[in-house]
Amino acid sequence: MRHKSKSKNNILLIARIIFGLVFLFSGFVKAVDPLGTAYKISDYLEAFSLTSLDFLAFPAALILIATEFAIGFNILLNVHLKATTWVAGIFMLVMTPITLYLAISNPISDCGCFGDAIVMTNWQTFYKNVVLCVILAIIALLQNQNRPWLSNWGASVVTLFPILVSFGISIYCYNLLPILDFRPYKKGNNIIEGMQIPEDAPLDKYETTFFYEKDGVEQAFTLDNYPAEDSTWTFVRQESKLIEQGFVPPIHDFSIVTEDGDITDLILEDAGYTLLVISHKVEKASTKNIKCVKSTIANAKKAGAKVIWLTSSYSDDIEKFKSEYGINDTFGATDDITLKTIVRSNPGLVLIKDATVIEKWHHNSLPTKEKLNQLIN
């Protein structure tokens, strides 16, 4: 009997460790990039036609991060296990059907469960959630084997710790930049290398269906049996469906277009330094530090760097922004999602040379003139 009880305790411990670590990791990678988490929630809202609630994306991101942190922490360390198991059960009961819907309909490419640290397909995410549900069921069934090591009052106080930590990390990274950058534009990465496709990389696989008509009846054929040499059939149309996606390079949508045309290669192949001033939407840009941004731009120019603003805004908004804040620099058009990916700041600054990211700055933490001179000279 004692041996059986010990085995159950061991199973419960293993289940708690797995479930707790997964939730802690999920919460942590979201906390270091809270703005990215908010962007992903915005994608969810768009997928469910709830864009009117987009203003709730960032608060929802903070709540989601704190919830995952608290669940993971409590289950791992056996704090309020019964109550936390109920909360985790409700959480999984909501998220698992959502991930099933995403897997079937595929409105967004990945769920963002582990931020940019681990990118999973929607089906992989659904299977992961199913496994977590099984592990949580084991915890729920065996939790009576557990003995609390804290009083209710002590457990409540300890539960505040992961919540405060998650908020602290999130707010810090929101006001500066992510302390860990998992994106393809992180410091030290080469943009051109990130755009390359290996020679042996798998290609997209398509299934092509041919539609022919005969005696007023339309029939579908495949490549193996379509009536190419039968003149009694009349070709109507063909449809191609992607059945297996090939290799997608980490950077596949970076381009810069100005009034003079596409200057992407001109910027990336420049052996000198270029300061990219990123504002995915100038009409939404924070202007509290605009004087500091302009000062940094001036210092970069004096040090010998080229400067170009990148935005996805319309020309009217750009002209209004330039006129209002006295900006005379060149503006280039770049995809909105790409700009959000490059730097989690609006505006944010990125220094590149030979297509390599040298440094990145949030508008709240801009470099001094001396620092710029050290980097550029």
235 vs 210: CA distance, rounded Å: 8
SS3 155: helix
Residue type for position 304: G
Reported as a single tens digit per residue, the pLDDT across 56-93 is: 999 999 999 999 999 999 999 888 888 899 999 999 99
What is the rounded average pLDDT of the residues 112-135?
91
| Stretch among 196-200, 314-318, 368-372 having the lowest mean pLDDT | 196-200
Nearest to 65 by CA among 175, 183, 174: 174
DSSP for 63-105, please give it. HHHHHHHHHHHHHHTTSSHHHHHHHHHHHHHHHHHHHHHHHHH
Taking the chain, what is the end-to-end CA distance rounded to the nearest angstrom? 74
- Given a cut of 60, whether residue 292 has pLDDT beyond it is yes
pLDDT at position 149 is: 60
pTM comes to 0.85
Mean pLDDT over each residue of the chain, to the nearest integer = 90
Q: Where are the beta strands (DSSP E) in 50-201?
A: none
pLDDT at position 297 is: 96
pLDDT band with cut points at 50, 70 and 90 for residue 150: low
What is the rounded average pLDDT of the residues 161-185?
94
4 vs 6: CA distance, rounded Å: 5
- CATH fourth-level superfamily of 257-376: Glutaredoxin (3.40.30.10)
Domain assignments of the chain as residue spans, ordered by start: 2-175, 205-244, 257-376
350 vs 188: CA distance, rounded Å: 12
What is the rounded average pLDDT of the residues 3-14?
78
- Given a cut of 60, whether residue 3 has pLDDT beyond it is no
Reported as a single tens digit per residue, the pLDDT across 11-37 is: 888 999 999 999 999 999 999 999 999
